[in-house]
Amino acid sequence: MKLKPLGDRVVLKMVESEETTKSGIILTGSAKEKPQVAEVVAVGPGGMVDGEVVKMEVKVGDHVITSKYSGTEVKIDGEELLVVKQGDILAIVD
């Protein structure tokens, strides 16, 4: 199954965070923070959203930083994805 986002929505795949700190401390599942870096896997068409013209600034393959608690988590074919509005994306990582 493939997701096709609508309007100004973007589908993201979260990038796994490190299991150990720089000093070598191994983090348990409860000690890890939710990762904020993600890869864009699908982009909506933009256009008119709530009466305003929205131009999509991100493209498939971009790595982005999202707001910490944004979006809706979905599981498609065993893969965990996050659907967010483009406004919840804070930056593109080069």
CA separation for the pair 13, 66 (Å, rounded): 11
Which residues are registered as beta bridge partners of 65? 37, 91
Tens digit of each residue's pLDDT (9 = 90 or more) over 47-57: 887 888 989 99
CA separation for the pair 34, 14 (Å, rounded): 9
Task: Evaluate if pTM is beyond 0.85.
Answer: no
Which residues are registered as beta bridge partners of 39? 13, 63
Q: Which domains does the chain have, with CATH numbers?
A: 9-18+26-93 (2.30.33.40)
Residue 45 has pLDDT above 60, yes or no: yes
CB atoms within 10 A of CB 11: 23
Long-range CB contact pairs, 22-26, < 8 A, 24+: none
